Amino acid sequence: MQRLTSGGGWKAILYTLRQALRVGPWRLWRAIRAKNACKTCALGMGGQKGGMRNEAGHWPEVCKKSLQAMVADMQKGLEPSFFARYSIEQLRGLSPRELEWCGRISQPLIARPGDTNYRPIEWDEALDQVANQLRATSQASFFYASGRSSTEAGFLLQLFARLFGTNYVNNCSFYCHQASGVGLGQSLGTSTATVTLDDVENTDFFMLIGGNPASNHPRFMRTLMNIRRSGGEVIVVNPLREIGLVNFSVPSDPWSLLFGSPIASLYVQPHIGGDIAFLMGVAKHLIELGATDRDFIDRSTTSYADFETAVRSSSWEALETALGVSRSMMVETASRYARAKTAVFGWTMGITHHLNGVENVRAIVNLALMRGMVGRPRAGLLPIRGHSNVQAMGSVGVTPALKQAILENLERHLGVMLPRSPGLDTMGCMKAADAGRMKTAFCLGGNLFGSNPDTAFARRAISQLEQVTYLSTTLNTTHAHGTARETIILPVLARDEEPQPTIQESMFNFVRFSDGGPKRQPNARSETSIITELARRVLRERSPVDWTRLGRLCHVREMIAAVVPGWEQLARSEANKQEFTIPGRIFHAPVFPTSDGKAHFKTLTVAARGEGLRLMTIRSEGQFNTVVYEEEDIYRGQERRDVILMNREDIARLGLIVNQPITVRSSVGVMSPVLVREFDIRAGNVAMYLPEANVLVPTDVDPESKTPAFKSVAVSLEPLRRTTLPLMNP
């Protein structure tokens, strides 16, 4: 497959036209123009300003990810005969893409012990099954939420769980950006971005670390284009040289569409796991240049002296070895940063998917603090989150431990004592299930099986449960592989089908109202209606809240405004759906919500690089999180997903050839056959697509964030006898 020379461009426009023809141009146009927040990444778009418009009012704001999600939701419903024809075992033979495009789930489904197929079940019977199981296993049940659900659904879920008597509540961020929240919290007292979209648009310097927004957040490329156009710097730090981060043709900008736009002004390709070494090298040269902001450091931070001592004592040779990049590259980066009047640092899961993910985040914060680039306009920190509403899940308490203020406010508001027993993160719940200590799981969206490391472990853990319930719009690998003794699937409405307005929070702390819209699947229900009905059936007369009343989401938003600090404005926004930025989260002055009001430097050490190849799992241009829409990855020139991307030096050193089938082994799994593909990646490192490559990822987690190391897996390669494989039929 021919590799492109630029991201975006006419191919993106042609793709849009093909998708429009697939579901009907006028039908798709009306859907994406409706007043609903975008369903995909957390950059945020839509809401009350109208579809394809961001908080700054710019139009058109749309990308392939938005269209893919919308078209998937516009599929026809699955007929009952589908599940009669396809057994669960046959579903396991389908790829993630094939499962996604089977159609919308249109009726409740159940697979009881001994069943080989899912079969339809009436709503009332399904809800009774779930309620009865929960009542029987109150101390052995966990509740999981994805970032695609509404804020109201997330709040109701955690409220139900805690009134039910458990803190076994968590969300998908534990497998993505939890390290960002923990690291930012330790350093600054916050867990979210410190900047607005306007800050990023107008900064002098943007460092993008461990991410590929050209594929995963395409609309963000317009922001990076604007930084370069205004004379600013965009420094990209990524082991893979991604073509979309080198040059991108923004479809909504005529000049960029015709001629392309340079993105990276400097491209750094470190070893996987070399981030702290790189950031310390940049810090080391900043100190040598005398380019630190001593007034800011002395007035607004703590622990700088210890940090500076550690940086000065680190040798350039040790940093180069751990990083795989020359001293001159670190020096050049530091020099460009030193010249910038303002700077924003953004990162994605290339930073958080490590056993030291929290330390990686704190290393980024250290570098920003050295020049006072936190606590002023047009400067700060930006965790670039994946799912459109994942940040809100943390904001409203879909976490193992409620923030103290929310806990106290909820107890006062409801007049009850909530459980104080320790909760469990996502991996903690999975390991408890594997050990037989969990009996029931309730999953609000997501792909619990497909997002877990160590596929064999994930399958085994879920299979130990007596019952698992999934609230889903379409099929994914969880429904095929993540089955318990009894598995129930409840069909839910998409965001733009909700019968009542809902709210979503972007990675910029901006809260949007989505209007909802007409049902596409007559027998599907809203997530909030399912949760309130289950809570009514499970809690019965002992509930301190009227769940029927909370079925009206305006009352849910009233409760959120009353108990979640910073969300008080939500009560005032109800009448006119006024959208807002959550106060107290944007740092335009150097005052921080820590115990002493100061930001805290963290002294870090550079770990020695291990021997052998290091694997990072990646997403393709044709997928969103674990949802695979297309087999092709057009930006990387790959027509299939069962490949391993390698540096040509490693291919030659190991005696391999391009397209040779090999076996990839890790400490927990094997993947075979896999085709060797040459790519511009730092030698000593390889990349493979998730969720397929999750079979190779161990269940070890960062001790602070509880996030698995999806992007730092030791692997070995073994050649197979055959030298070619037939192309997979996508």
Residues in Cβ contact with 563 at an 8 Å cutoff, skipping those fewer than 6 apart: 406, 409, 410, 413
Tens-place pLDDT, residues 665-718: 999 999 999 999 999 999 999 999 999 999 999 999 999 999 999 999 999 999
- What six digits make up the tokens of 170? 């968590």
**Mean pLDDT across 325-348:** 99
Place of tokens 């995909």: 40
Place of tokens 């006072």: 372
Amino acid 156: pLDDT: 99
pTM for the whole structure:
0.97
Q: What is the DSSP letter of 582?
A: P
Whether the per-residue pLDDT at 216 is higher than 70: the answer is yes
CA 682 to chain centre: 25
Domain 80-172+389-578 carries which CATH code?
3.40.50.740
CA terminus-to-terminus distance, the chain: 13
Query: How far is Cα 518 from Cα 499, in angstroms, rounded to an integer?
Result: 7
Amino acid 722: pLDDT: 56
pLDDT band at 610 (very low <50, low <70, confident <90, very high): confident
**Mean pLDDT across 464-489:** 99
pLDDT band at 641 (very low <50, low <70, confident <90, very high): very high
Q: Which of 58, 63, 49, 198 is nearest to 513 (CA)?
A: 49
Residues in Cβ contact with 255 at an 8 Å cutoff, skipping those fewer than 6 apart: none
pLDDT band at 1 (very low <50, low <70, confident <90, very high): confident
Query: How far is Cα 681 from Cα 122, in angstroms, rounded to an integer?
Result: 52
Q: Which of 245, 246, 255, 314 is nearest to 280 (CA)?
A: 314
What does DSSP say about strands 627-628 and 440-444: parallel, antiparallel, or unpaired? unpaired
Query: How far is Cα 276 from Cα 292, in angstroms, rounded to an integer?
Result: 19
Whether the per-residue pLDDT at 729 is higher than 70: the answer is no
Query: How far is Cα 384 from Cα 180, in angstroms, rounded to an integer?
Result: 10
Whether the per-residue pLDDT at 2 is higher than 60: the answer is yes
Q: Which of 59-68, 334-343, 474-483, 654-663 has the lowest mean pLDDT?
A: 59-68
CA 463 to chain centre: 25
Query: How far is Cα 330 from Cα 237, in angstroms, rounded to an integer?
Result: 11
Amino acid 193: pLDDT: 99
Q: How many residues does the chain have?
A: 730
CATH architecture for residues 613-719 = Beta Barrel (2.40)
The more confident residue out of 723 and 68 is 68
Q: Which of 278, 408, 275, 412 is nearest to 354 (CA)?
A: 275
What does DSSP say about strands 261-262 and 109-111: parallel, antiparallel, or unpaired? unpaired
Whether the per-residue pLDDT at 725 is higher than 90: the answer is no
**Mean pLDDT across 258-268:** 98
Whether the per-residue pLDDT at 386 is higher than 80: the answer is yes
Type of residue at 628: V
Rg of the chain, C-alpha, whole Å: 25
pLDDT band at 394 (very low <50, low <70, confident <90, very high): very high
Amino acid 724: pLDDT: 45
Q: Where are the domains of the chain?
A: 7-73, 80-172+389-578, 178-384, 613-719
Q: Which of 102-111, 464-473, 720-729 has the lowest mean pLDDT?
A: 720-729
Q: Which of 41, 1, 44 is nearest to 512 (CA)?
A: 44
Q: Which of 53-57, 103-107, 496-500 has the lowest mean pLDDT?
A: 53-57
Tens-place pLDDT, residues 281-302: 999 999 999 999 999 999 999 9
Residues in Cβ contact with 469 at an 8 Å cutoff, skipping those fewer than 6 apart: 130, 440, 441, 442, 443, 487, 488, 489, 490
239 burial (CB, 10 Å; 0-12 / 13-18 / 19+) is buried
Amino acid 326: pLDDT: 97
Share of the chain above pLDDT 90, in %: 94
Residues in Cβ contact with 582 at an 8 Å cutoff, skipping those fewer than 6 apart: 395, 505, 509, 510, 511, 566, 567
Whether the per-residue pLDDT at 311 is higher than 80: the answer is yes
Instruction: With beta carbons less than 8 A apart as the criterion, state whether 19 and 31 touch.
Output: no
CATH superfamily of 178-384: Dimethylsulfoxide Reductase, domain 2 (3.40.228.10)
Q: Which of 639, 490, 641, 633 is nearest to 126 (CA)?
A: 490
Tens-place pLDDT, residues 424-468: 999 999 999 999 999 999 999 999 999 999 999 999 999 999 999
pLDDT band at 728 (very low <50, low <70, confident <90, very high): very low
Q: Which of 392, 12, 33 is nearest to 221 (CA)?
A: 12
Amino acid 5: pLDDT: 87
Instruction: With beta carbons less than 8 A apart as the criterion, state whether 175 and 202 touch.
Output: no
Whether the per-residue pLDDT at 644 is higher than 90: the answer is yes
**Mean pLDDT across 660-665:** 99
Type of residue at 644: I
Query: How far is Cα 514 from Cα 36, in angstroms, rounded to an integer?
Result: 4
Share of the chain above pLDDT 70, in %: 99
Amino acid 727: pLDDT: 42
Query: How far is Cα 97 from Cα 626, in angstroms, rounded to an integer?
Result: 10
Whether the per-residue pLDDT at 726 is higher than 50: the answer is no
- What six digits make up the tokens of 407? 């806990």
**Mean pLDDT across 651-666:** 98
Instruction: With beta carbons less than 8 A apart as the criterion, state whether 4 and 243 touch.
Output: yes
* Mean per-residue pLDDT over the chain, rounded: 96
Amino acid 609: pLDDT: 87
CA 184 to chain centre: 17
Reduce the DSSP state of residue 368 to 3 states and report it: helix
Whether the per-residue pLDDT at 577 is higher than 70: the answer is yes
